Amino acid sequence: MFETKVQIIKNAVADDVEKEFRAQIFKAIEAGIDLTHIDTHMYTAFSNNEILLKYISLGKEFKLPVLITYKLPISTWFSKNVIVVDQLYCAQPEDYIQGLNDYYCEVLRSIKPGLNSILVHTAFNNKEMQDITGDQPDFGSAWRQADYDFFTSDQCRQLIQDNDIQLITWREIRDKLIR
């Protein structure tokens, strides 16, 4: 296990990454979790074409959608039946510093028709989450509370309604398009 994304990109071996992906999938299934999709933690499945293809293959094997976007920083040909997100949004450290509410409001006001995904990391800013995230400001406990607060707010609900945004879940995507 590498500590940083840079180390993963530099050192990861595709077969080893596939084993880890597979082990996590089986662990979740054994725990009784109804998997809705396969995500790429910090975009690490996009590290190179070989890892990306294994990631897509596991999605097909387990009949689960995978998070893929047309704006991948690597080139690959997507086979048919792969769901591709038109636009992927994820707040960055500078957005947190400037205020997540402003960032998310702008995203919801400017979102275009299509399949869009907004990555959020919701949690309570409590001792447990503080212990898990340590003293890191980026995606740390306070950030996660800010995400939770915005996406459960009346302001967010109103922006979704005013901008005619249709919310869907990965479960709906899985059940209607994959299975």
Q: How far is CA 127 from CA 23, 61, 123, 130, 146, in A?
A: 29, 39, 11, 5, 16
* Radius of gyration, alpha carbons of the chain: 17
- pLDDT recorded at residue 99: 95
- Looking at residues 135-154, what average pLDDT do you find? 94
Q: What is the pLDDT of residues 96-139, one digit of tens each?
A: 999 999 999 999 999 999 999 999 999 999 999 999 999 888 89
Q: Which amino acid is at 153?
A: S
Q: Quick check: 75 pLDDT over 50?
A: no
- pLDDT recorded at residue 169: 93
- pLDDT recorded at residue 1: 67
- pLDDT recorded at residue 137: 81
Element (H, E) at 103: helix 100-110
What are the residues whose beta carbons fall under 8 Å from the beta carbon of 77, sequence distance 6 or more? none
145 or 11, which is more confident = 145
Q: How far is CA 161 from CA 99, 109, 116, in A?
A: 22, 11, 16
DSSP, collapsed to helix, strand or coil, labels residue 38 as strand
Average pLDDT in the chain: 89
CA distance 111 to 116: 8
pLDDT band at 49; cut points 50, 70, 90:
confident
Q: What is the pLDDT of residues 13-48, one digit of tens each?
A: 889 989 999 999 999 999 999 999 998 877 788 778
DSSP, collapsed to helix, strand or coil, labels residue 87 as strand
